[in-house]
Amino acid sequence: MWCERLHELCLTLLVFFCIVLECSCLTFKYHNNSELEQVLKNFTNSTTNIRTRLEKIGSSLNKIPLWAIELTAAEKDALGVPNIKLIGNIHGNEAVGREIILNFMEYLRTEYDRNTTIQWLLNNTRIHFLPTMNPDGFAVSHEGMCAGEYGRKNGKQGDVEDLNRNFPDFFHDNKIPRQPETVAVMNWMKRIPFILSAGLHGGAVVANYPFDTVKEERWKTLLRRIETVTDSQVEYEMRIQYLASIPINPPSLTPDDDVFRHLATVYSQNHLTMHKGVICDDGKKFQGGITNGAAWYPFSGGMQDYNYAKHGCMELTLEISCCKFPRASELPHLWDENKMALLRYVMEAHRGVTGQLLDSVTNEPVSRADLKIVGRNITFHPSNKGEFWRLLLPGNYQIQVDAPGYYPIIQEFSVKNFSAAELPSLTKMKILLLNDTIPTTAKPVTSSSSSTAVKWDFKETRIEEEEETTILEMNHFLRHFQYTADPNSEYNNGLKPNFFSCFLSMLVIEVFVFTIL
């Protein structure tokens, strides 16, 4: 009898140690979709030194769950803690990213108790991981496929839609049917105020920054330029030379081009080879290992453009291997190349400004507002707690706040410079907004007339509700038109007529007119 109990105990202990080993050890291999789900669940269950949260943010076209995991040691309700996300496997046949993300998660967990830099990072940051955005395409792709389109898209055969062409576009109306994977990521971004992001791709070695999209096609640009050149100005041969000097793909730059170039350079310079301008099979060499997306090749509906223009989240497209789906034996080397680059990149979320919008009387958070860094005409918005973030390089800036029901305000601030040996720190602000029903002698602050407002027309389709919502953000007047169009909005409530007041006013006017007559 004792032998049987001892035997059962040994089996129990064996199973327990096998589970522990499975949870704590990550091998360099490509995990299929079922294995990936199990790795994430094991990681969550076995992590005790830092907080983890696993959530299903949606499903693929083939109903495969999209699992995202949050990793942080920050206090649960702490204010001003930036959110970062890393997304892999956007194209199903570009598989390196999903394994690099898993190894980065394991690296952060393992090093937390013995590396002060990582301890600081996780104590002050919330990092979210989505190892695969396209499990459908991955399921039909094969190890060793270095090029080609097979498995790139979603669907049973990986040939339905390119998810990195499926987001609302900054300049154009994207008519490609919105896919469930895209909707899941868009809804994820609505819930969580991400400040920094990266999408991990394959097929090149370069850090790509926005914009990918362009305002107009190149032939229209050439036509416009040709029209400015007359026969009286130059000869025919000189005109041909002039046209030949125009880049085939001119860059499409954002108002925050300096920040994007900095972020791309941080990743490239900390990557073991990217900064050298690695030449893959296409023969393209990128100076310093970075490129503007449109200067490489322009396209519409990209995820990084949507992140920036719609949510103020700065995202790079990181191409991390010449081969899209290299042999698993190459994964250790690829991990070594990207490990320090990823760590330095996510630390950049602490270079800029953070703050909170508060009502000056009630001290309650103000969550509905348009914010803009003066001179950088891209609008961003606070969280539901009134928090805001913006990545900026060292310097002096002004932030403009326009909230319905409050006087506009512009407030100055500075972003400090940090040496390579220092840990960066966000500039912290508290902005008090004065309700516009309170009389004031101060003149309302308005936008500079020299500033050109950025305009866009994002069309978002919610598949679950089968409805199309057009979000228009143009100028101050149009934003107020949106608020007044909403009968439930606070702004509109302030404009509702008081019938007693109207009646009283009319009576006074009648008496006044009768007296005069």
Domain annotation covers residue 265: yes
Report the CATH number that the domain containing residue 366 is assigned in CATH.
Answer: 2.60.40.1120
For residue 108 the two structure tokens come to 């952060």
Query: How many Cα neighbours within 13 Å face the side chain of 101?
Result: 33
Domain boundary at 328, 349, 370, which?
A: 349
| Burial category of 15 from C-beta neighbours within 10 Å (exposed 0-12, middle 13-18, buried 19 and up) | exposed
Q: What is the pLDDT of residue 486?
A: 34
Q: What is the pLDDT of residue 494?
A: 32
Of the two residues 92 and 444, the one the predictor is more confident about is 92
Rounded CA gap, 136 and 64, in Å? 7
Least confident of 39-48, 212-221, 432-441, 490-499: 490-499
Same domain as 207, residue 243: no
Q: Is the pLDDT of residue 167 over 60?
A: yes
CA nearest neighbour of 219 among 240, 236, 243: 243
Which residues are within 8 A (CB) of 184 and not within 5 positions of it... i.e. 6 or more apart? Answer: 57, 58, 59, 66
The string of pLDDT tens digits covering residues 186-201 is 999 999 999 999 999 9
Q: What is the pLDDT of residue 77?
A: 87
Return the DSSP state at 165: G
Q: Is the pLDDT of residue 448 over 50?
A: no
Q: What is the pLDDT of residue 251?
A: 94
Q: Are 314 and 263 in contact (CB under 8 A)?
A: yes
Domain annotation covers residue 441: no
Same domain as 123, residue 209: yes
Which residues are within 8 A (CB) of 499 and not within 5 positions of it... i.e. 6 or more apart? Answer: none
Same domain as 483, residue 395: no
Same domain as 194, residue 94: yes
Rounded CA gap, 234 and 244, in Å? 15
The string of pLDDT tens digits covering residues 332-378 is 999 999 999 999 999 999 999 999 999 999 999 999 999 999 999 89
Bridge partners of residue 398, in order along the sequence: 412
Q: Which residue has the tokens 């509905």?
A: 368
Which residues are annotated as catalytic?
Answer: 319
What is the average per-residue pLDDT within 291-297? 96
Q: Are 131 and 89 in contact (CB under 8 A)?
A: yes
User: Phi and psi (nearest 5°) for 357?
Assistant: -90, 130
Which residues are within 8 A (CB) of 32 and not within 5 positions of it... i.e. 6 or more apart? Answer: 139
What is the average per-residue pLDDT within 10-33? 63
Its domain, for residue 483, covers 456-516
For residue 152 the two structure tokens come to 């790139």
Which residues are within 8 A (CB) of 189 and not within 5 positions of it... i.e. 6 or more apart? Answer: 307, 310, 311, 313
For residue 72 the two structure tokens come to 């942080």
Q: Is the pLDDT of residue 58 over 90?
A: yes
Domain boundary at 301, 316, 349, which?
A: 349
Domain annotation covers residue 497: yes
Q: What is the pLDDT of residue 96?
A: 98
Q: Which residue has the tokens 């973030």?
A: 389
Of the two residues 201 and 505, the one the predictor is more confident about is 201
Domain annotation covers residue 468: yes
Q: What is the pLDDT of residue 171?
A: 93
Residue 19: which pLDDT band, with cuts at 50, 70 and 90? very low
Rounded CA gap, 295 and 213, in Å? 10
For residue 125 the two structure tokens come to 């940051």
**What average pLDDT does the structure give for the chain?**
83
The string of pLDDT tens digits covering residues 400-410 is 999 999 999 99
Same domain as 368, residue 321: no
What is the average per-residue pLDDT within 317-331? 98
Which residues are within 8 A (CB) of 172 and not within 5 positions of it... i.e. 6 or more apart? Answer: 213, 300
430 sits in which H/E element: strand 427-433
Q: What is the pLDDT of residue 4?
A: 58
Q: Is the pLDDT of residue 65 over 70?
A: yes
Domain boundary at 349, 378, 408, which?
A: 349
Same domain as 244, residue 186: no
Least confident of 93-107, 124-138, 277-291: 277-291
What percent of the chain stands above pLDDT 70?
74
Q: What is the pLDDT of residue 496?
A: 35
Domain count, the chain: 4
Same domain as 125, residue 61: yes
Same domain as 282, residue 325: yes
Q: What is the pLDDT of residue 289?
A: 97
What is the average per-residue pLDDT within 235-263? 78
CA nearest neighbour of 375 among 259, 477, 239, 488: 259
The pTM for the full model equals 0.80
Q: What is the pLDDT of residue 207?
A: 98
Residue 5: which pLDDT band, with cuts at 50, 70 and 90? low
Work out whether strand 204-209 and strand 352-359 pair parallel, antiparallel, or are unpaired: unpaired
Same domain as 204, residue 129: yes
Q: Is the peptide bond before 418 cis (omega within 30 degrees of 0)?
A: no
What is the average per-residue pLDDT within 93-117? 97
Same domain as 166, residue 118: yes
Same domain as 273, residue 411: no
Residue 508: which pLDDT band, with cuts at 50, 70 and 90? very low
| Beta strands across the sheet bearing 65-72 | 51-59, 65-72, 126-130, 83-88, 194-201, 314-321, 204-209, 290-292
Distances (CA, A) of 85 to 129, 131, 349, 439: 6, 10, 11, 44
Q: Is the pLDDT of residue 458 over 80?
A: no
Which residues are within 8 A (CB) of 503 and not within 5 positions of it... i.e. 6 or more apart? Answer: none
Q: Are 298 and 214 in contact (CB under 8 A)?
A: yes
Angle, CA 350 vertex, CA 349 and CA 351 arms, to 5°: 95
| Burial category of 265 from C-beta neighbours within 10 Å (exposed 0-12, middle 13-18, buried 19 and up) | middle
Same domain as 95, residue 12: yes
Least confident of 74-88, 411-425, 499-513: 499-513
What is the average per-residue pLDDT within 160-174? 96
Q: Are 345 and 265 in contact (CB under 8 A)?
A: no
Domain annotation covers residue 446: no
What percent of the chain stands above pLDDT 90?
70
Q: Is the pLDDT of residue 208 over 60?
A: yes
CA nearest neighbour of 396 among 380, 409, 411, 412: 412
Domain annotation covers residue 330: yes
Q: What is the pLDDT of residue 282?
A: 82
Domain annotation covers residue 183: yes
Report the CATH number that the domain containing residue 189 is assigned in CATH.
Answer: 3.40.630.10
Which residues are within 8 A (CB) of 344 and not within 5 positions of it... i.e. 6 or more apart? Answer: 266, 267, 270
Domain annotation covers residue 443: no
Rounded CA gap, 416 and 433, in Å? 25
Which residues are within 8 A (CB) of 157 and not within 5 positions of it... i.e. 6 or more apart? Answer: 140
Residue 233: which pLDDT band, with cuts at 50, 70 and 90? low
Q: Are 259 and 392 in contact (CB under 8 A)?
A: yes
